Structure 1
Amino acid sequence: MAEFVLVAGAWLGAWAWDEVVPKLRAAGHGAHPVTLSGLAERQGLPAGQQTHVQDIVDEIERQDLRDVVLVGHSYSGIPVGQAAERIGDRLRRVVFVDSNVPHDGESFVRPPFGERVRAAIDDNGGFWPPLTADDYAGQGLNGEQIARIVGGSTPHPGATLTEPAVLTRPLGELPATYVKCLLDGDEPSPDVAALLKNDRWRLVEMDTGHWPMFSQPHELAQVLLDAATE
């Protein structure tokens, strides 16, 4: 049995995994969606990037989870990648879902879009404002799914995006699956492509957009189940 620890991207909380969790549990595994500090029901808590890393580590240690499949979507690939190396032999595999990956000493706000994000944070009291409904066009989502995402999103703490990652060993040494959502671009970013050259990394493609937990939750759950057996 694997223990899936699921962390959604910017603006989202544990609720984003509501349609993924049941299939994981029906297959006999544990599923533990995490809300990071400052988001969703944890709004108001101060948070930097290392706070989010610690949120994930604390959840795993508090429940004494083993055989962990640690899943990070979008922004959360950055704290998840750091947490994955900190939990040691508790880790079975890390799955990056159309996500950013951490680079030691670098933050989320990197070129080419980093300055735009930083400006939005400065203009919104230290938070990255959620996307609007129009921003989700072309991502394989229907109107009801878009309304659910927009309605549940909360401003994202800016410090988590501007503080640098801290890695103690090369990310390519971790056993990892990278899920590329093709409606959000046909190819992984160059840094991910370089990591995929490691024999411990595997690429999986999904014919959907950047938020597969909403657009294709059952298919995503199967991808995660398959990753657990790698």
Structure 2
Amino acid sequence: MERRNFALIFSLLAVALAITLASRAGATDAGPIAGNPLIEIPAGAFVFGRDDGPENERPRRVLEGQAFAINRTEITNQQYRSFVSATGHRPAFYADHAILGLDDHPAVGVSWSDADAFCRYYGLALPSERQYERAARGTKGGRYPWGDAPPDYTRALSGSDTCCSADPGDGYPLTAPADSFANGASVEGVLNLVGNVWEWTADLYAPYEGGPPIGSAGSYRVLRGGSWNSDPKHLTTTYRLAYDPDFRFSANGGFRCVRSAP
């Protein structure tokens, strides 16, 4: 009898956990990229920018966002190789690296145009800064995808407290598999929007509407999310990194794609 009661209790707990996880996740669509479903992000108001960080993140505003869908994980080496095989596009720079080139790790060593070409091939696009930030912050403007608690080894792959070197305590010398760190998922269930690799966005680097002027505006594209060697100040949902769009030798830069609502 005790065994049966224990089994019943365990079963009920498992069901409750499944319901809780399902309630956190957004609706999914298999999408055009094998093994990387699109997570639906609903339309509605969300917080964009912040007033207590770097000047290029100001001002904090509440915007009205349109619905879109975003890849659950960064694009992996295996997914990028499939694209290269189908199109003859140049491979990722680190495709043959012993760690960075592993099939289930994010594809790194891609320029902005490489990432853009990949997304376009599948009828998708690179996310705008607004889309990336909405997916990462939810509607309430969290500092991290999971809320405001500081990152730890279960939530994000990041670097040491001093830029820019890996933190060996997380168990990964460089990148981690793209589906790692489930505890760091966003409200809708998107993974690694902070940490693992920086991610290209569609946008040129420019000041926000109503914000202070910034240097190098219009010359660079914006990367978001921080990476495996980012210190804490770079590892937030709002940090903006201006980067040369033609540079393809970065071992900590990747991407994912979005599908905007018609």
TM-score normalised to structure 2 length: 0.25
Give the structure with the higher percent helix. 1
Structure of larger gyration radius: 2
